[in-house]
A and B are shown apart, each in its own frame.
Chain A
Amino acid sequence: KAGVTQTPRYLIKTRGQQVTLSCSPISGHRSVSWYQQTPGQGLQFLFEYFSETQRNKGNFPGRFSGRQFSNSRSEMNVSTLELGDSALYLCASSLGGDSVGYTFGSGTRLTVV
Chain B
Amino acid sequence: AQSVTQLDSQVPVFEEAPVELRCNYSSSVSVYLFWYVQYPNQGLQLLLKYLSGSTLVKGINGFEAEFNKSQTSFHLRKPSVHISDTAEYFCAVSDSGAGSYQLTFGKGTKLSVIP
Q: Classify chain A's interface size.
A: 20 to 34
Binding site for B on A (CB under 8 A): 4, 6, 31, 33, 35, 42-45, 48, 50, 55-56, 58, 90, 92, 94, 100-107, 109
The answer to whether A90 touches B100 (Cβ under 8 A) is no
Q: Classify chain B's interface size.
A: 20 to 34
The answer to whether B101 touches A102 (Cβ under 8 A) is yes
Residues A103 and B108 in contact in the complex (CB < 8 Å), given A33-B102, A45-B103, A56-B102: no
The answer to whether B100 touches A55 (Cβ under 8 A) is yes
Report the minimal beta-carbon distance from A1 to chain B, rounded to whole angstroms: 16
A100 CA to B45 CA, complexed, in Å: 14
A50 CA to B101 CA, complexed, in Å: 11
**Interface of A (DSSP majority class):** strand
Report the minimal beta-carbon distance from A74 to chain B, rounded to whole angstroms: 15
Report the minimal beta-carbon distance from B79 to chain A, rounded to whole angstroms: 25
A6 CA to B49 CA, complexed, in Å: 24
What are 6 A-B contacts defined by CB distance under 8 Å?
A31-B101, A42-B106, A56-B100, A101-B49, A106-B43, A107-B43
